[in-house]
Amino acid sequence: MGPAPAAPRYARRLGGARRGQPREAARLSQVGRCAEGSRARRPARRPIRRPRHPFLLYRGGPARGSAVHTRPHAALARLDLRHPHAHAPPEVSKPSLLYRLSVHVVTRAAPLVARFDKKVARGLDGRRGLAARLGGWGSAERDTKRPLIWMHAPSVGEGLQAKPVLETLRAEHPDWQLAFTFFSPSAERLAKNLPVDVADYLPLDRPSEVSAVLDALQPTALVFSKLDVWPELTLAAARRGVKLGLISATVSPNSSRLRWPTRHWSAPAYRALDRVGTISEEDGERLELLGARPETIAVTGDTRYDSVAERAARLDTTREPLARLAATSADTFTIVAGSTWPSDEAVLLPSFADLLHQLPTARLLLAPHEPNPDHLAAIADRLRHLKLPRPVRLSQLEHAKPGPVIVVDRVGILADLYALGDVAFVGGGFHRAGLHSVLEPAVFGVPTVFGPHWRMSRDATLLLEQGGAVALPADARHPLHSQWLVWHHDPAARRSAGKAAKTMVEEGRGASERTTALVRGLVS
């Protein structure tokens, strides 16, 4: 007998389950189950019950309900984390000259790039006057006698990971001030609905901008969501004595951050972090490679599992447009395709045309990732070439007869639309940008298919392992059509796959409670 396997380094602190390496998806005939001879199914994480907190929308007034008071650092004891001052902090340096030169080059080039990229242009426009806006808020509203938690998330996905933590902090500590920043313009809409005192763009990572925002906010703690740790900001905050945290941290094995030069210039920033909450033990090991100190790391899980479950629990299918879309005959087979790119639609729409010839009761709810006029026109052209009826847009549904294809021409409702599906198609898998959220259909027990570029998604890997999804090959027109027929003709198989998906989400809950405890511990 060989030596006993080593105990997990981080997972044992929080009861997290160690995840194996990603495996290939199953053959289509097996309805997405693991290949024969692979390891048995296992839960994504050990389920931990979390207390329910009211969903609050806070704009400067007292939160509703009574606050829940917690002894300082009691939560850290539950997390098996040492007191924040148990170790001497690392020596804080400044970002490398190479990093500062790189930032300088990128910021000088950004106006030129903005001429051809609307998203970059929006980001530059949004940052104009940023220091003045935050400075004005700081002068009028910042109360230095109250702790201020500054939470940063680069985009919508990371913002959704931060959202339940901010909600719980607001409910438990209504006297604390909360600030939220984001990098991508796509997070503007989310930021307006968060329970924070102030929300705005992240400053460019240059000394003058960083210093101005730190002067304005005077944070007690600065917390990054997922991995977006900016060296200039992080190290400047550390030099001022601001506590630093990273939550829902995950690092892909193929991440460019693990390679030179990114790993070199980001190492001091990761080393300065006081608390790191990772999604899995493997993420903790890779965070160490990036520079994080081992004693700061604990596995807390992924807060998005709590977010999608709580949103699903609040779903009201009697409101429009869900009520209108749900009014179908009993034999309708509904496919919800979400966050699709043209590369997804090149496979999806021909497969649906094949299905419709065999199954006239099939219906496709198509929600493109970017429902701009050009994209919507391209979808209509592709359907015309396939000799399919002209699509009906969601905005026209009240005055038009619904057809087999309904195109969702608005944002913000996709997560709810998945509840109407018999099966789901998640976009991004045929696009190098990466797969979009597979948790949104999974929480409703809807089995899912997606393209071959899924390996960067931990959720997709777990979903495939548990039999709740199918990964398609690059040439997927006929395999996708066949899989839809399998799930239509075999409702038991479809229900089994959906149940596996929903179970995965339920077993992943509890991360918000653990992550909030970690953030709370930064405030001494």
Nearest to 254 by CA among 96, 22, 25, 426: 22
Domain boundaries, the chain: 74-99+128-302+509-520, 328-507
CATH fold of 74-99+128-302+509-520, please? Rossmann fold (3.40.50)
What DSSP string describes 351-371? HHHHHHHH-TTEEEEEEESS-
Are 286 and 254 in contact by the 8 Å Cβ rule? The answer is no
Q: What is the DSSP letter of 168?
A: H
Predicted pLDDT of residue 461: 94
Give Cβ neighbours of residue 440 (< 8 Å, ≥ 6 apart): 308, 338, 414, 415, 418, 426
CA distance 425 to 365: 10
Strand, helix or coil for residue 507: helix
The neighbour count for residue 456, using CB atoms within 10 Å, is 17
Number of CB atoms found within 10 A of residue 21's CB: 7
Phi/psi for 198 (5° steps) reads: -150, 140
Query: What are the Cα distances from residue 377, in Å, to 338, 340, 371, 373, 393?
Result: 17, 14, 10, 6, 11
Give the C-alpha separation, 199 to 279, whole Å. Answer: 26
Side chain identity, residue 138: G
C-alpha 260/C-alpha 196 separation (Å) is 37
Query: Does this chain's domain 74-99+128-302+509-520 share its CATH topology with 328-507?
Result: yes
Contact 327, 452 (CB under 8 A): no
Q: Which fold has domain 328-507?
A: Rossmann fold (3.40.50)
Report d(CA 210, CA 139) in Å as an integer. 17
List residues bridging with 198 in a β-sheet.
Answer: 179
Contact 472, 450 (CB under 8 A): yes
| pLDDT tens, per residue, the chain with 524 residues | 445 445 556 643 444 433 334 333 333 333 333 333 343 444 444 433 333 332 222 233 333 333 333 333 334 434 545 444 445 557 777 888 889 999 999 999 999 999 998 889 999 999 999 999 999 999 999 999 999 999 999 998 899 899 999 999 999 999 999 999 999 998 998 999 999 999 999 999 999 999 999 999 999 999 999 988 999 999 999 999 999 999 999 998 878 788 888 888 899 999 999 999 999 999 999 999 999 999 999 999 999 999 899 999 999 888 989 998 998 888 999 999 999 999 999 999 999 999 999 999 999 999 999 899 999 999 999 999 999 999 999 998 878 888 999 999 988 889 999 999 999 999 999 987 789 999 999 999 999 999 999 988 989 999 999 999 999 999 999 999 999 999 999 999 999 999 999 999 999 999 999 999 999 999 97
Do strands 275-278 and 392-393 pair parallel, antiparallel, or not at all (unpaired)? Answer: unpaired
The values of phi and psi at residue 288, to 5°, are: -60, -40
Structure tokens at 288: 């160490």
Q: Is residue 417 within 8 Å of residue 324, measured between CB atoms? A: no
522: left (phi over 0), alpha (psi -120 to 50) or beta: alpha
H or E segment at 249? strand 243-249
Rounded to whole angstroms, the Cα distance separating 127 from 122 reads 9
223: nearest Cα among 180, 174, 279: 180
pTM of the model: 0.75
Coil, helix or strand for 495?
A: helix
DSSP at 34: P
Q: Do residues 523 and 221 make contact, with C-beta atoms less than 8 angstroms apart?
A: yes
Going along 287-403, which residue ranges are E strands?
297-299, 333-340, 362-368, 392-393
First to last CA, the chain: 49
CB 406 within 8 Å of CB 325: yes
Contacts of 358 (CB under 8 A, 6+ apart): 485
Q: How far apart are CA 62 and CA 173, in angstroms?
A: 10
Task: List Cα–Cα distances, 414 to 97, 187, 239, 439, 470, in angstroms.
Answer: 44, 16, 43, 12, 20
Q: How confident is the model at residue 96, as a pLDDT?
A: 86
Report the C-alpha dihedral over residues 207, 212, 218, 222, rounded to 10 degrees.
-40
Sign, CA torsion 397/400/402/408: negative
Residue 39, amino acid: R
At 442 the three-state DSSP class reads helix
